[in-house]
Chain A
Amino acid sequence: MSLVTRRRAIYTGLVRHLPETEVMPTLSFWEANYAEKPSFALNEFLGEVVKRCSHKLERASLYRELIAIMNGPATALLPDPLLQLEAWRCGAGVDADEVGGPGAQARQTFAALSEVLFAALPDTQLNALRRQLGSSLGELGVNTELRLRVRAWLEQGKGLARIQLELAQWRSLLNIIYEGLCEQLGPVAADQLLSRAVREVDNLQLRLPPQKLL
C-alpha cells in the first residue's frame, strides 16, 4: 500500500473521532513516526493517539475500525489530506516539528544546516552541487518514493516537510551533502563550512542540536 493510500486511510479513521483541531497534528505525528513502520505498529500509534487526544477514546474499537478501513475499498477513503497537512505545518511552525517527534526535530535541524551550507555557495556551484547530490541518493538506502521526494527537494529546494527520515538517515543525507561540498569546494573548505554551519545552527538552540546530525 502506498504512502498516499495509507495516509488517506488513517485520515479517514481519525477524522471520525478526533476534534478538528487535533486531526492534522495527529496525522503529522503518524507520518513522522509510523508511516514507514510495519502495520503491527498501528496499535502502538493508537496508544499515543489515545494519550494525546483531549477526548476519551477507546483504543480497541479505533484499531478495529482503522483495520477495516485499510482493508476496505480505496473508493471509500477520503481524499488525500496532503495539502491541508502542509498548510497546517506551515502555520504551526515549531509546533508541527514538536508533534512530529525525533524525526521531525532532526528535519528541523537538518533544514537549518542545509540552508547555511547552500547559502554559502554561488548559484553556479549550488546548481552543480544539487545535480551531483541527486545522483548520490542511492547511498541513503530508502525506498524509491522517498528517494524521489529527496531528489525533488534537492532540485527545487521545496518539500522538505514531506520527507520522513530516521535520525541516521538524516545524518547520511547531511554526509552526502558534505561529500558534494568536498567535490565542489575541496575538503578543507568543506570542513570549515560545515563547522561554521554547525556553530550558527547551534546558536538557534533548536530541540535537536546540530552536532547530533554529524
Chain B
Amino acid sequence: MKRYLLLFGLLGFAPLVQAASDEAINTGWVVIASALVFFMQAGFALLESGMSRAKNAVNVMMKNFMDGAVGSLVFWLVGFGLMFGANLNGWFGTSHFAPHAGEPWDFTFLLFQMMFAATAATIASGAMAERTRYGAYLVGALVICGFIYPVFGSWAWGGAYGGQGWLAKLGFIDFAGSTVVHSVGAWCALAGILVLGPRLGRFAADGTPRLIPGHNLSLVTLGAFILWVGWFGFNAGSTLKMDSSLGLIALNTHLSAAAGALGAVLALRSTSSPILLTTTVNGGLGGLVGITAGCASMAPGFAIITGLVSGFVVVYGMALMEALRLDDVVGAVPVHGLAGIWGTLAAGLFFNGDLFDAHRVLVQFVGVAAAFLWVFPVALLMYFVLSRSIGLRVPAQHEQRGLDFSEHAESGYPEFGQTLTYDVSELGRRA
C-alpha cells in the first residue's frame, strides 16, 4: 500500500519536476546564447578595426570594448526598466530599474537583453570611426543603451512585467531585432556621421569619393565569421527557450547570410566595381540583419530571398551613402539600417501561412518608420549637443597623428608602423 502511495506521490510531483527541469534547460540555453551575442562584440571590434587605418586600430578596439562595458551597466541601471518594466501606457516601462532582486529567470532574461543593448550601441562605433572623440562616443553609447534603444524597444517588445508596447499591440513582427536592435543602431550611426562630417580628404572638392582602405582585411573576415556565429545565438536565443523551432531559426539565419554574400557579389557584378572583400562581407552581414526580424516566421526559401535582396540593398546603399558624401567607415547604415528596413518588411511579406498580407506589411512599415522618427532626431540632437559641449570630433592634428596616439597614447602596431604621422618617442612619456 505504501508503495502505491509513494508512486502516486511521485506522479503528482512529476509536472513540477519537469517544469523545473525545463526552466533549467531554458536558462542554460539563454545563457549560452547571451555569451554568443556578447562574442559578437569581438566580431564588431575586429571588423571595424580591420576596416580602419592602422593608426586608429586601438581606438576602434577600445570603443567596442568599452561601449559593451558602460552600455551593459547603464542598461541594468535604467534601460531594462524602460524597455521591459510594466508598460501600461505602451510607450515606456516604469518598473524593474536597477534590478537587484527577483526570480532566477528575471536575471537570465536581463543578461540576454543586456547583450542586445550593447550590440545596438556598438553599431555606431564603426560608422563614426577615425575622427570621433573617445569620451564623447562613450557618452553617446550610454544614452543609446540607457534611453534611445530601450524606449523604442518598449514599443515593440515591452511589457514583460505587465502591459504591452503600442507597436506590439498593432501586431508588429520583429523576432530578434532587425529594426529594434539593428536599425536603431544604424539611425544613431547616421546621426553621428552627419554631425561629425567626413574624415579629412574622404571626398575631393568636387565630391568624388576617395577610397581609404582598411589596414587588415584578415581581421575583417575573421570579424565577419565571428558575427555570423554569434548571430545563431542572437536569433535562436530570442526564442528564450529550448524548443523545436531552433532548427528553422538557425537554418534561416545561415541561409540568409549565405544569400546576402551572394547577393552582394551579384550586385557588384552588375556595376563597374570589382568584387571587393569588404563589400561581400557586408552583404553577408546584411543578410544576417535582414533575416533577424522574420527568422522564426518564414520558410527557408523566403529566407534565401530575404538574404539575397539584403545583399543588393547593402551594395546600392553603400553607393548611395557615397553619393550623398556621407562617410560611413564600415557601411553600418546600409548593413544595419537599410537591410534592417528590408528585413522587417520581408518578415511581413513572407509570414508563414499568411503570405503578402497588405495589412501586416503596413504594420511593419509603421514600425520601421516609427524607429526612424524616434531614433534619428533624438540621436541627432544628442550628438549635436555633444559636439557643442565636450566636442564630438577630434582636432585635425589628432586625425593626422591617429587616434591611437592622441586618444590613448598607444600604438596598435608599434613594431610594424609604416607611416610616420606622430612623434613615436612621445609614447615613452606615458609613465
Contact = CB atoms under 8 A, between A and B. Distances in A.
Contact of A212 (B53, B199, B202, B423): B423
Interface stretch (B29-37, B121-129, B414-422): B414-422
Contacts of A195: 418-421
Given A178-B400, A214-B401, A183 B201 contact: yes
Closest 7 A/B residue pairs (Cβ):
A182-B201, A186-B210, A182-B200, A187-B201, A211-B423, A198-B420, A195-B420
Contacts of B218: none
Give the secondary structure class of A's interface: helix
Contacts of A186: 201, 204, 210-212
Contacts of B425: 211
Nearest to A172: B397
A52 interface: no
A10 interface: no
Interface of B is mostly: loop
Interface centre among B199, B201, B202 (most CB of A within 10 A): B201
B396 A179 contact: yes
A187 B420 contact: no
Interface string A179-214: 101111111101110110011000000000001101
A192 to B, nearest CB: 7
Given A183-B200, A195-B421, A212-B423, 5 more contacts: A178-B396, A179-B396, A187-B199, A187-B210, A195-B418
Interface string B231-272: 000000000000000000000000000000000000000000
B362 interface: no
Nearest to A199: B420
A175 B397 contact: yes
Nearest to A197: B420
A32 B212 CA distance: 40
Contacts of A212: 423
Interface of B: 53, 55, 199-202, 204-205, 210-213, 396-397, 400-401, 418-425
A214 B200 contact: no
A190 B418 CA distance: 13
5 contacts: A182-B201, A188-B210, A188-B213, A198-B420, A214-B423
B329 to A, nearest CB: 12
A172 B395 CA distance: 11
A212 B205 CA distance: 31
B422 A214 contact: yes
A184 to B, nearest CB: 8
Given A171-B397, A182-B200, A191 B205 contact: no
B187 to A, nearest CB: 27
B217 to A, nearest CB: 15
A175 B213 contact: no
A50 B53 CA distance: 53
Contacts of B421: 191, 194-195, 214
B422 A187 contact: no
Contacts of A199: 420
B400 A194 contact: yes
Contacts of B200: 179, 182-183, 187, 190
B397 A191 contact: no
Contacts of B213: 188
B199 A194 contact: no
Tell which of B210, B420, B422 has the most Cβ of chain A within 10 Å. Answer: B420
A176 B421 CA distance: 13
A187 B212 contact: yes
A211 B427 CA distance: 12
A172 B212 CA distance: 24
Contacts of B202: 187
Contacts of B424: 211
A185 B213 CA distance: 15
A44 B200 CA distance: 43
B424 to A, nearest CB: 7
A70 B79 CA distance: 68
A170 to B, nearest CB: 12
Given A182-B201, A191-B419, A192-B419, A214 B212 contact: no
A171 B406 CA distance: 14
A188 B210 CA distance: 9
A23 B252 CA distance: 85
B128 to A, nearest CB: 16
By CB atoms of chain B within 10 A, which of A172, A190, A191, A192 has the most? Answer: A191
Interface string A143-182: 0000000000000000000000000000110011011011
B419 A175 contact: no
A183 B422 contact: no
